[in-house]
Structure 1
Amino acid sequence: MTNSFYSKRNIEIFNTPVELGLRALIILKEAAPNSLDLNRIIIYDYILTHSQDVDESMQSLHPAIPNRFGELAVKRKTMQEGLKLMCTRELLDIEYTESGITYKANKLSEYFIRYFDSSYAKNLVEYSHWLNKKFNDYTDSELNSYINKNISKWGSEFTKESLIRGAFIE
């Protein structure tokens, strides 16, 4: 029996360049007039989707999964593709500076984001505002130190999960 919902087109809907590019667009719009480099955008994207890791009073936009901190490493290429996509559509600007390449929201970014009216999109904007306010004054070094200091905690709440589950299985 074959699955009638199976598609031979192999369409991915999660963690695609489009999804990450749109989140980066929102992050950069809230960071305006500042520009951000790829590394900071990846860190901000992680914090945006897993905000409860940083502030326990907030609800994360994405579910807590084991070892989610690995997202910081594996999303680099996809985020680059997402940023490139947004730039080719003239929704973001690229700045070449002495310290490297940075990305910046432009006027089209704001107009484009206004078209999104789902509760998820509204939460992305709200959380991006919080995120930029909280980490805007961190230098790259301070932000990296913060991540390195906390990374082992993020997703580690699942390390003893099998022991807990085993205790309830008769």
Structure 2
Amino acid sequence: MSKLYNTPFEASLRILLILETSRNQSFSADMLAAIDFISIYGREFGISDENLHGDNNYKFSEFTLRRELITKAIKQLVVDDLIKVNSTEKGFTYCANQKGLNYSEYLSSDYATAYRRAVSLAREFISNKTERKILNFINRRSIYSLQED
């Protein structure tokens, strides 16, 4: 049996859901990783009553791995022509193209529905924050959680 969880493929499905939920917006790889992380661990950010992936003591240490998975997933999504790359003065950003939107519409499991809802809450949570502030916040929470253990 092949591994599905914590793979670029799994991350690519979540990226498509983020971009579907955020139509007409583009995000950097770091921002996609942050939205994904906040969506999965919503309770830790006060936007949900539960964490979609359950509770564990090392959730904040997962953020570095998630960033790597997101980067690999983005590369594959670009190769598969499911997302569009934009070059900006600050670097590359990514948005959904029609093929990616069509694909994501087929993702209709209970998890996909819950994740879409979590993404909407995460986007509302970060709406008035810069990317730098969001990443710094996650990093500070990561350090704090390590000190607690």
TM range (shorter): 0.7 to 0.9
Aligned to 1:50: 41
Question: How do 1:82-121 residues align onto structure 2 when only pairs under 5 Å count?
Answer: 82-121=73-112
TM-score w.r.t. the length of structure 1 is: 0.78
Point out where structure 2 has 5 or more consecutive residues left out of the alignment: none
* Partner amino acid, structure 1, of 2:9: V
> Runs of 4+ in structure 1 displaced over 3 angstroms?
152-157
TM-score w.r.t. the length of structure 2 is: 0.87
Bigger Rg, structure 1 or 2: 1
Asked whether 1:15 is paired with 2:18, we answer no
In 2 relative to 1, CA 56–130 (structure 1 residues): closer, same or farther, beyond 3 Å? closer
Question: SS at 2:120's partner residue?
Answer: helix
Question: SS at 1:96's partner residue?
Answer: strand
* 1:9-51 residue CA offsets vs partner (Å, 9 max, x unmatched): xx21111111001111111222232211111111111111111
2: CA distance, partners of 1:155 / 1:64? 15
1: CA distance, partners of 2:61 / 2:83? 27
Asked whether 1:59 is paired with 2:39, we answer no
Point out where structure 1 has 5 or more consecutive residues left out of the alignment: 1-6, 160-170
Aligned to 1:70: 61
Give the Å deviation of 1:110. Answer: 2.3
Alignment root-mean-square deviation, CA? 2.0
Percent identity (aligned)? 23
1: CA distance, partners of 2:49 / 2:21? 18
User: Which structure shows the bigger proportion of residues in helix conformation?
Assistant: 2
Give the Å deviation of 1:76. Answer: 2.7
Which structure ranks higher in relative contact order (CA pairs < 8 Å, sequence separation ≥ 6)?
Answer: 2
